[in-house]
Structure 1
């Protein structure tokens, strides 16, 4: 169970870094690097994010009890796909995605 304060996490910054690294028009990493890292094409990955978000309410961005927006669907899907692709523990990407163990575990 998580004990750290979720509000100390930089969800917005993590999302911006993720988009800048892999999903923007001028992303830091090439399509080939994306495929190597995620074991699928960027097009397939984004299609999965869209479909999962449509069909599963957990992945949709929503406000928490304080009115702050929660974790972005792209981040939850990134955590899930990386866990499946590399058979890692749920909080392996905690520092990178600024997402705790419980959220990562529930995402999978």
Structure 2
């Protein structure tokens, strides 16, 4: 039993020494890759499809005319929905993009990865939007 404990302790010391010495030259540090998404183009497309000034009829104006007021209030009240820069210095999504992502998930019953194609939004961002919307 004491022999087994000695082997475990020596293996632990060897592993901790290897961790403390850091990566060797044969093991270079890997950097995270950053996926550049065209968020500006995605926002322009969204605004063109849903929020342009040429309304089809007055019913649409009556039902959805105040959405920009709601988005502005949401952006003003909750910091998550404010547009900021990420750690790389790129602008992140607007409140309208985040809410559109949220509404598409809730209305159509889709999974969170559906917004990658249209809104250029990662699955994690959609999940974070869902969590922040319902927990605030």
Check whether TM > 0.5. yes
Equivalent residue for 1:10, pick from 33, 38, 43:
38
Query: 1:15: how far off?
Result: 0.3
Check 1:46–1:17 CA distance in 2 against 1; reply closer, same or farther (3 A cut): same
Equivalent residue for 1:101, pick from 123, 128, 131:
123
> Structure 1-normalised TM-score?
0.75
- 2:101 corresponds to 1:79: yes
Count matched residues.
98
C-alpha distance in structure 2 between counterparts of 1:15 and 1:31, whole Å: 24
Query: 1:54: how far off?
Result: 1.6
Stretches (4+) displaced over 3 A:
3-6
Q: Please tell me whether the aligned partners of residues 31 and 42 of structure 1 are also in contact (alpha carbons under 8 angstroms).
A: no
Which structure has the bigger radius of gyration? 2
> Structure 2-normalised TM-score?
0.61
What does residue 21 of structure 2 align with? none
Check 1:94–1:4 CA distance in 2 against 1; reply closer, same or farther (3 A cut): farther
**Paired residues for 1:1-108 under 5 Å:** 5-6=34-35, 8-26=36-54, 30=56, 41-108=63-130
Highest relative contact order (Cα 8 Å, sep 6+), 1 or 2?
1
Query: 1:48: how far off?
Result: 2.8
Secondary structure of the corresponding residue to residue 64 of structure 1: coil
Q: Please tell me whether the aligned partners of residues 20 and 26 of structure 1 are also in contact (alpha carbons under 8 angstroms).
A: no
